[in-house]
């Protein structure tokens, strides 16, 4: 028997409204990580959007903090089967970040400090569906949860909500990120249980 959890023990599904198939409810906030937690000083933090033609739009921490922020309450669903309902975040909408970016790209690759990547279609980042969040539950986002800032794209499994985010590469074609290349689903819709490739 290996140490990889099969859904962390395959707990019984609870019939809770808002809980996608195969998920169980948790009230704490599990920390999952594929590597060391990067500690990013705010004076070295930068978020850069790079278009398919190489044009860059970039914000340092002070510029990013000056952007209009939103408070959102969303449910989050981890592919390891825990879900946490009603989480509160403060961050900048991707609609705001992409507002003045000229691009025809249909796909994006999210990049993080530490080298993590994950792919998200452009349409899943727009129309109030995604944020770069820097506060959780009213407090500064802690490094183990992705601080200073992480992507929050709650309608997809939470591995798409990259921690320690530092950029977005806009792409004409879809490409796998870190977990997608390792066997996880390219899209990751929790309501359709798109956990692994081929699901």
Partner 1 sequence: MDGTPLDGNAMAGDLREIFAVDVTAARYLCAGCTHTDAVGTLLLWHQSPGLVARCPNCEDVVITVVRAPDRVFLDLRGSVRLEVPLEGS
Q: What is the dihedral of CA 179, 176, 121, 126, to 10 degrees?
A: 50
Contact between 172 and partner 1 by CB under 8 A: the answer reads no
At residue 138, φ and ψ (nearest 5 deg) are 85, -5
d(CA 80, CA 158): 9
The CB-of-198 to partner 1 minimum distance in angstroms stands at 8
Q: Which of 47, 59, 64, 179 binds partner 1 (CB under 8 A)?
A: 179
Interactions with partner 1, residue window 84-143 (CB under 8 A) = none
Chain residues 1-60 in contact with partner 1, contact rule CB under 8 A: 1-4, 6, 31-37
CA distance 153 to 39: 22
Sign of the four-CA dihedral 60, 115, 124, 175:
positive
Q: Is 80 in the site for partner 1 (CB under 8 A)?
A: yes
Task: Give the Cα separation of 62 and 127 in Å (integer).
Answer: 25
Nearer to partner 1, 164 or 184 (CB): 184
Quick one: 1 or 21, whose CB is closer to partner 1? 1
Q: Which residues bind partner 1 (CB under 8 A)?
A: 1-4, 6, 31-37, 78-80, 144, 159, 178-179, 181-184, 195-197
């Amino acid at each position: 028997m290996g140490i990889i959890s099969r859904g962390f023990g395959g707990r019984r599904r609870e019939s809770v409204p808002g809980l996608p198939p195969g998920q169980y409810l948790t009230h704490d906030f599990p920390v999952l990580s594929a590597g060391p937690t990067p500690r990013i000083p705010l004076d070295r933090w930068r978020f850069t959007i790079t278009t398919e033609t190489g044009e860059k739009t970039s914000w340092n921490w002070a510029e990013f903090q000056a952007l209009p922020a939103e408070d959102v309450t969303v449910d989050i669903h981890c592919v390891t089967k825990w879900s946490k309902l009603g989480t509160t975040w403060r961050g900048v909408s991707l609609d705001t970040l992409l507002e003045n970016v000229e691009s025809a790209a249909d796909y994006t690759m999210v990049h993080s400090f530490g080298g993590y990547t994950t792919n998200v279609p452009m349409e899943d980042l727009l129309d109030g569906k995604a944020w770069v969040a820097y506060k959780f539950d009213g407090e500064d986002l802690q490094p183990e949860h992705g601080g200073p800032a992480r992507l929050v794209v709650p309608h997809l499994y939470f591995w798409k909500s990259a921690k320690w985010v530092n950029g977005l590469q806009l792409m004409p074609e879809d490409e796998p990120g870190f977990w997608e290349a390792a066997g996880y689903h390219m899209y990751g819709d929790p309501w359709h249980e798109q956990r692994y490739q081929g699901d």
